A and B are shown apart, each in its own frame.
Chain A
Amino acid sequence: MTGELGQIAVCFALALSLVMSGAGLWGARADQAASRSIANGAAMGMLVFTALAFGVLTYAFIVSDFSVALVSSHSHTTKPLIYKISGVWGNHEGSMLLWVLVLAIYAALVAALQRGGDRLTSAALGVQGLMAAAFFLFLLFTSNPFARLDPMPFEGNGLTPLLQDIGLALHPPMLYAGYVGLSASFSYAAAALMVGEEGWARAARPFMLIAWIALTAGIALGSWWAYYELGWGGFWFWDPVENASLMPWLIATALLHSALATERSGAFRTWTLLLAIGGFSMSLIGTFLVRSGLTSSVHAFASDPTRGFFIMVLIALAIGGALALFAWRAPTLKGGAAFEPVSRETTLLLNNVFLIASCACVFVGTLYPLVLEAFNGTKISVGPPYYMLTFSPIFFALLLLVPLGPKLGWKRGDLKAAWRSLYPALGLAAVAAIAVLALITPRGLTAALAFAVAGWLIGASILDVRSRKGARASAFAAALAHAGLGVTLLGVTGATAWRSEALTVMAPGEIITVGPYRLRFDGVTEVKGPNYVADQARIALMDGDRVKTMLRPEQRFYTAEGQSVADTAIRTTGLRDLYLALGDNRGNGRYAIRVYVSPLAPLIWLGALVMALGGMLSLWGRVRVGARASASETVAAE
C-alpha cells in the first residue's frame, strides 16, 4: 500500500506545482494579490507532498519492502541502516525524487522568506512551478520510483559497494542542494525579465549563496570520496561527472561576483540576468550528462536513452525559453551604471571573463569528444593533460587578480594605493616561493609559482581583515573565501608536486621506507563486516624498532553484490597524509601494496571548507541585515 501512497503524493505534488505556476504567473499582475497567496500556499503544499513521497520511499528502503522494484534492485536486508537510507538516492529514480524534493524545498523557501507579497516573488514562484511540473512529469513517466515488482523477491540485489560509503551517502544531497539551488536564481532572473528587474539581485542573493556553498561542499565531498575510496591517491580526475559539477560552480561563482556589482552599483544588469540563467542551465546540462549515461565514466551508474531524450527536451525548453525571454526583454532594461576603468566593477568584470573562459574549457573538454563521435565516429580522449594546458593557465591568471578587487573602491579606485597596500602580501608570496626553491628538492618552478600565488591570496586576505576592523560581514566573508582558494592551492600543489609513492609486493615481515615513514607488512587476515568479508592487511608504522601504530587497509568483497572494493587506510597529521591501499594476493602470503605520501593533501578539502565558511558568513550577514531591515519596516509601519 505504501508504494501507492508515494505515487499518489507525487501526483498531488504535480497538481500543486501546476497551481503554483498558474497562480504565481497570474499573481505577477499588479492587482492580483489573492493569486499570490494561492501560489504561496501551493508552494508549501507541494513541499509537503513531495516530502511525503520521499518519506514513503525511504520507509520502503528501511523496511526492505522488495515489492517495490527500486528497493529490490538497489537494496539488501543485510545492508547497514545508513546505506539503506542513502540507497534511496543511490539510483536514478530515487535521485530524481531527491532532485524534485530539493526543488520543492527551494520553492517553499522562496515563498516563506519573501512572504510572497511582491510581484517579483510571485513570478519567480510561477517559473519555479513550471520547472517542478516538468520534473514531476519526468519522474512519473520515465522514472517512477514506486513501480511494483510481482512476484516479490525474497532478497534484493544490493547497492554498488562503491556507493556504500559515508562520503557518497552525503555527496549527492549536497550537490543537489547546489544544482537545484541555482533554480531559484534562475526563476528570479526570469521573473525579473517579466515584471522588471528592480531589486531582483538582492532578493535572489541568499539563494545564490546557499547554492554556491552547497556546490562547494558537494564538490569537495566528491573529491574527498574519490581520494580515499578509489585507492590511487588522486583527488581530481577531470572525469565528465566531476566536470558536470564544476561547471555550475564556476558559473555560480561568476554570478555571485557579478550580482554583487549589480546590487551595489547597478552595473552589469543584463549580464547578471544572463549568468543566472546560465548557472542553472549548467546544472541541467550536468544532470543530463550524468543521468543520460551519455558519458561513460567511473561515476555513471545510469543509462537509458528515453530518459536522456526527455531531459534533453526539458533542457531545450527551459534554456530556450529563458533565453527567448531574455532576448525579448533585455533590450528594454535600463542601461548600466557609470564606472571608471580602474574600479571594483572592472575587477569583477575580469573575474567573470576568466571564470567564463575556465568554464568554457571544462564545457568543451567534456562535450567535444561526444560531439566528434556523434559526427563521424572518431573517438578521442580529453584527459588531464588538456586541462593542465587550458584550464590551469586561465584559472591561474584569475587567481593573480583576486587580491586586487577588494582593494579598489566602487565606481573609481586608486590602483597605486591598492598596489601599495598589497606590498606585505607580495612579500609573503616572495617568501613562499623562495622557501620552496631553497628548501625542497628536486626544485620545482611550478610548485614555487603556485606557492607564491597561494601566499599572495592568503596574505591579501589577512590584510583585508586587518584593514577593515568593524566592517560588514561581507568583507570578511570575501576575505575568507579568497583565503580558502589559497589554502586549496597549497594542498593541490603539495599533493601533486611532492607526492612520493611505492607500488610494491611485500612478504610478511618485510620493511619499506617511503618518504619519512618506515612500514612493516605484518600479513593479511580475513575479517567479517556487516555485509562483506575483507582481506585486512596489518601494516605497522615503525618508529625505530617500536611499532607506533597499526594501519589496516582492506580489500572488501561484498557478498550480496559480488563485487570487490578497496578500503584505504589513511593516517594524517593534518599537513601530510600517509595513504595505504591493499592490492591483490601474489601467493605465499605476498601482497601488492600501494603506499602514497601526500604532503599538504588535507589542505585541499580544508580550503574548500574555508571557502564554504566564507559563503556562510556572507549568508549570515545577509540574514542579519535582512532581519534588521524588516524590523525597522515594522517599526515604521507602526
Chain B
Amino acid sequence: MKGAALLVVLMLAGVPGALAQTQPVVPTTIGDSFADPAMESRARNMQRQLRCLVCQGESIDESNSPLAADLRRLVREQMVAGKSDDEIREFLVARYGDFILMKPPVQPNTWLLWLAPFLVLGGAGAVAWVTVKKAAARKA
C-alpha cells in the first residue's frame, strides 16, 4: 500500500519534470518553481504563512537560511503528494509546534491575544461614552 502511494507520488512528480526538462521536480530554492502557475501561487502563499524557525522574523518565503530551503522543499513535496493546505499545516504544526504559524491559531491559550485589542477598544469606547455624557450634562 505504502509502496503504491509512493509510486503515484513519483509518477505525479515525474509529469512536470517530463514536460519541462529545466524545471526541477520539487523546487526548493528561490528561482525554481512549479511549472503550473496555480500550483506555484499556492506554494508561495503557503510559504508566506510559515515562519522560518531560525531567522524568526522572516517567513520561509523570504529567507536564505538552509532550514527555510528545507521547509520549502517539505511544503512542495507535500503538495505534490496531493495534501491540502490544511493537512500540510497540521503536519508542520505536529512537527514544529504552533511557532511555525505566522498567524497564531485561535485556541484557549491565544483567546486573550485575539480578544485584547477589541476589549481595549470596547473599554476605551465605554470610557469615552461616559466622558461625553458627563461633558454634555455639565452644560445643562
- A interface with B by C-beta (< 8 Å): 232, 234, 237, 239, 267-268, 271, 296-299, 335-341, 345-346, 349-350, 352-354, 356-358, 360-361, 364-365, 368, 372, 376, 378-386, 389-391, 394, 503-505, 583-584, 586, 592-594
- A336 to B121: give the CA distance in the assembly, Å: 22
- A580 to B103: give the CA distance in the assembly, Å: 29
A379 near B99 with CB under 8 A, answer: yes
Task: Determine whether B113 belongs to the interface, using a CB cutoff of 8 Å to chain A.
Answer: yes
B31 near A360 with CB under 8 A, answer: no
A381 near B113 with CB under 8 A, answer: no
Knowing A368-B112, A503-B33, A594-B30, say if A360 contacts B139 (CB, 8 Å).
no
A298 near B58 with CB under 8 A, answer: yes
Can you give 30 A-B contacts (C-beta < 8 A)?
A268-B131, A296-B56, A297-B56, A298-B57, A336-B135, A337-B135, A339-B135, A345-B135, A352-B128, A357-B121, A360-B117, A360-B120, A361-B116, A361-B117, A368-B110, A368-B113, A378-B97, A378-B98, A379-B98, A380-B99, A381-B99, A381-B104, A383-B59, A383-B103, A385-B103, A386-B102, A390-B117, A583-B31, A586-B31, A592-B31
Per-residue A-contact encoding for B4-33, CB less than 8 Å = 1, 0 else: 000000000000000000000000011111
In the bound complex, residues from chain B placing their C-beta under 8 Å from that of A299 are 57
Interface residues on B, range: 35 or more
Q: Which residue of B lies closest to A382 (CB)?
A: B104
In the bound complex, residues from chain B placing their C-beta under 8 Å from that of A268 are 131
Task: Determine whether B2 belongs to the interface, using a CB cutoff of 8 Å to chain A.
Answer: no
In the bound complex, residues from chain B placing their C-beta under 8 Å from that of A378 are 97-98, 109
Task: Determine whether B62 belongs to the interface, using a CB cutoff of 8 Å to chain A.
Answer: yes
In the bound complex, residues from chain A placing their C-beta under 8 Å from that of B38 are none
- A407 to B101: give the CA distance in the assembly, Å: 44
In the bound complex, residues from chain B placing their C-beta under 8 Å from that of A267 are 135
- B interface with A by C-beta (< 8 Å): 29-33, 49, 51, 55-59, 62, 64, 97-105, 109-110, 112-114, 116-118, 120-121, 124-125, 127-128, 131-132, 134-136, 138-139
- A350 to B124: give the CA distance in the assembly, Å: 9
- A386 to B113: give the CA distance in the assembly, Å: 9
B124 near A298 with CB under 8 A, answer: no
In the bound complex, residues from chain A placing their C-beta under 8 Å from that of B30 are 503, 583, 592, 594
A239 near B57 with CB under 8 A, answer: yes
In the bound complex, residues from chain A placing their C-beta under 8 Å from that of B99 are 379-381
B117 near A380 with CB under 8 A, answer: no
Which of the residues B32, B102, B139 comes within 8 Å of A338, measured between beta carbons?
A: B139
Q: Which residue of A lies closest to B101 (CB)?
A: A381
Nearest CB in chain A: distance from B105 CB, A: 8
In the bound complex, residues from chain B placing their C-beta under 8 Å from that of A349 are 128, 131-132
Nearest CB in chain B: distance from A396 CB, A: 13
Knowing A239-B57, A336-B134, A592-B29, say if A384 contacts B120 (CB, 8 Å).
no
In the bound complex, residues from chain B placing their C-beta under 8 Å from that of A380 are 98-99, 101, 104-105, 109-110
A394 near B121 with CB under 8 A, answer: yes
- A380 to B105: give the CA distance in the assembly, Å: 9
In the bound complex, residues from chain A placing their C-beta under 8 Å from that of B59 are 383
- A345 to B132: give the CA distance in the assembly, Å: 9
Sample of 5 further A-B pairs with CB below 8 A, known A297-B57, A385-B49: A336-B134, A341-B132, A364-B113, A380-B104, A584-B64
- A296 to B56: give the CA distance in the assembly, Å: 7
Q: 8 tightest A-B contacts by CB?
A: A383-B102, A385-B103, A338-B138, A357-B121, A360-B120, A505-B31, A338-B139, A379-B99
Q: Which residue of A lies closest to B134 (CB)?
A: A336
Q: Which residue of B lies closest to A372 (CB)?
A: B109
In the bound complex, residues from chain B placing their C-beta under 8 Å from that of A594 are 30
Which of the residues B102, B117, B125 comes within 8 Å of A384, measured between beta carbons?
A: B102
- A31 to B51: give the CA distance in the assembly, Å: 62
Nearest CB in chain A: distance from B130 CB, A: 11
Q: Which residue of B lies closest to A397 (CB)?
A: B121
Knowing A337-B138, A379-B98, say if A391 contacts B117 (CB, 8 Å).
yes
Knowing A336-B131, A381-B100, say if A353 contacts B121 (CB, 8 Å).
yes
Knowing A357-B121, A505-B31, A594-B30, say if A385 contacts B135 (CB, 8 Å).
no
